Amino acid sequence: MGACASSWFTSLWSQRCSAECGRGKQTRTAVCLIDHGTDLPLDSCEGERPPEVTVCDSGPCENRLEWYTGPWGQCSAECGNGTQTRSVACIFNNDGRMEVVDQLQCSSLSQPITSQPCRLKPCGVQWYFTEWSACSSSCNGGYRVREVRCLANNITPSDRCDPSLSPKSREECNKQPCGAEISKSYHNCMVVVQARLCVYPYYRSVCCAACSRAHKTYPNHIRR
């Protein structure tokens, strides 16, 4: 029957222009096939390959509001899960002349996301710790504690952390003497003194300075 004819086949141009206003692009796909013979693409066809990109124009960009997005920032964590952010701005575009306006003016448009998760690499084993507990004493020295653990990537206990880098699990706090100043944890200490409540251990502890001075001034009224 002679040699089979091969021809260029093209799809329809994309319906939408790549730009909502101004110059953009439309695309299609071109493939080389045997006429009526197979759907498999061939290596080459006679003639020049049909263009797969064409220019389109959606009209001038006049008096348009649009979102502008800046580049993504660095990941907040050097390893493990982090977050990266970017800035967005509402732009008034008047045929290429752009002006930043209040973001409320773009409220009818879908706003681009401003943050996304990121992960540069696994962290390996590392130290984790809780928040500090409350101090055991309001004055004259106390201590506070927290829990410290060594965890692997999958948040399972590990013994491979460097002991020299372990965060402290206990530290001293509230080292100031009780008589140095009126306690900041209770603001009505003068009322406590006037009501003669310093006889109770609780009020003596939270108003230690005021109760101590009251005991020196009124020794017959305040019992320790």
Pairing of strands 30-34, 6-10: antiparallel
Q: Which of 35-39, 74-78, 124-128, 201-205 is least confident?
A: 35-39
Question: In degrees to the nearest 10, what's the CA dihedral of 55, 61, 65, 70?
Answer: 50
Left if phi > 0, otherwise alpha if psi is -120 to 50, otherwise beta: which for 15? Answer: alpha
* Torsion 191-192-197-199 (CA) sign: negative
Percent of the chain with pLDDT strictly greater than 90: 40
pLDDT band at 93 (very low <50, low <70, confident <90, very high): confident
The CA distance from 143 to 146, in Å, is 11
Rounded to 5 degrees, what are φ and ψ at 122? -65, 150
Domains with residue ranges and CATH for the chain? 6-57 (2.20.100), 64-119 (2.20.100), 126-173 (2.20.100), 178-224 (no CATH)
The CA distance from 62 to 64, in Å, is 6
- Residue 123 CB-half CA count within 13 A: 18
pLDDT band at 224 (very low <50, low <70, confident <90, very high): very low
211, 203 contact by CB (below 8 A): yes
Whether the model clears a pTM of 0.75, i.e. scores above it, the answer is: no
How high is the pLDDT of residue 95?
72
| pLDDT tens column, 120-173 | 888 889 999 999 999 888 888 899 999 999 998 878 899 999 999 999 999 999
Average pLDDT for 193-201: 80
Which H helix or E strand runs over 208? Answer: helix 208-217
The CA distance from 86 to 79, in Å, is 20
